[in-house]
Amino acid sequence: MSQPSRVRVALVLPELLGTYGDRGNATVLVQRLRWRSIDAEMIEVSGDTPVPADCDIYVIGGGEDIAQLAAVRWLQAHPGLQQAVGRGAVVLAVCAGFQILGTSFAGTDGAMHSGLGLFDAITRPLSRRAIGEIVVEPAPGLGIRSLTGFENHGGATQLGPGAAPLGRVVTGIGNGFDGAEGVVQGRIVGTYLHGPVLARNPDLADLLLTWATGRTLDPLSLEETETLRQERLQHARAR
């Protein structure tokens, strides 16, 4: 894709999938661009408007099982996100958002539901709910430092051959299969880390921004962000 003059960050269905402050991920992306004097705007995509297909980055968050079902039905009926992915848009999908972008996922009743099929991933129930701090060693090819977050989910996600893990679990549960956490498929990232994940992990934010803008971004030196990251890593490793 060519470099966008104004980077458009879509916050998808925040009223359904935004339980954990996931809106913060869109705020972080926009702000990190503005700090570098790159024009950026957040587009809020609510359930009363079709999903635009022309944004550069899409952020979708976590939520309850019922909300997740309503969200996937809406997104299947209004396929702007799928069209955007088809032309190379970047996506960050957290928790319930991660599950519904997969091939299929289990509902509260145990029945399987079709996802959007953007990830080669199937989610079934975990034997025991995963709640707590999580630390992840990212896949080396991504070139980013350890990830820290908080997870709260009852789903276990198995990746198929078309998908690669975002990283390996150091502490916590993650996908619940083979020590994997999250998924990277093309320019789409899924993860069980919320909190919101990009406020804690500036490297991941900048990786998404680099993909979306096609630019090498100037480093940002933000002491508070770094202090938060270090504090959460130490806390999780001490447990």
Nearest distance, CB of residue 120 and ligand GLN, angstroms? 18
Is residue 78 part of the annotated active site? The answer reads no
Query: Would residue 19 be called left, alpha or beta, if left means φ above 0 and alpha means ψ between -120 and 50 degrees?
Result: alpha
Closer to ligand GLN by Cβ: residue 81 or 95: 95
- Using rule CB under 6 A, residue 59 touches ligand GLN: no
How big is the CA angle at 10 (ends 88 and 93), to the nearest 5 degrees?
70
Q: What does the alpha-carbon distance between residue 167 and residue 206 come to, in Å, rounded to a whole number?
A: 17
- What residues between 27 and 56 interact with ligand GLN by CB under 6 A? none
Active site residue: 95, 113, 153, 235, which one?
95
Q: What does the alpha-carbon distance between residue 167 and residue 138 come to, in Å, rounded to a whole number?
A: 4
Which of 153, 200, 229, 232 touches ligand GLN by CB under 6 A?
153
Q: Are 32 and 209 in contact (CB under 8 A)?
A: yes
Q: What does the alpha-carbon distance between residue 123 and residue 156 come to, in Å, rounded to a whole number?
A: 5
Closer to ligand GLN by Cβ: residue 2 or 127: 127
Is residue 113 part of the annotated active site? The answer reads no
Q: Give the burial string for 116-131 (b: 16+ CB within 10 Å, else e).
A: bebbbbbbbeeeeebe
Closer to ligand GLN by Cβ: residue 36 or 113: 113
Closer to ligand GLN by Cβ: residue 169 or 209: 169
Nearest distance, CB of residue 190 and ligand GLN, angstroms? 11
Q: Are 104 and 113 in contact (CB under 8 A)?
A: yes
- What residues between 69 and 108 interact with ligand GLN by CB under 6 A? 95-96, 99
Nearest distance, CB of residue 62 and ligand GLN, angstroms? 3
Which of 152, 158, 171, 210 touches ligand GLN by CB under 6 A?
152
Which of 26, 29, 68, 119 touches ligand GLN by CB under 6 A?
68
The three-state secondary structure class of 64 is: coil
Which of 47, 52, 154, 186 touches ligand GLN by CB under 6 A?
154
Cα Rg for the chain, rounded, in angstroms? 16
129 is in an annotated binding site: yes
- Using rule CB under 6 A, residue 63 touches ligand GLN: yes
ω before 196 within 30° of 0 (cis)?
yes
Give 143's contacts (C-beta < 8 A, 6+ positions apart). Answer: 207
Binding residues: 129
Catalytic residues: 95, 194
Residues lying near ligand GLN in the complex (CB under 6 A) are found at 62-65, 68, 95-96, 99, 152-155
Binding residues for substrate: 129
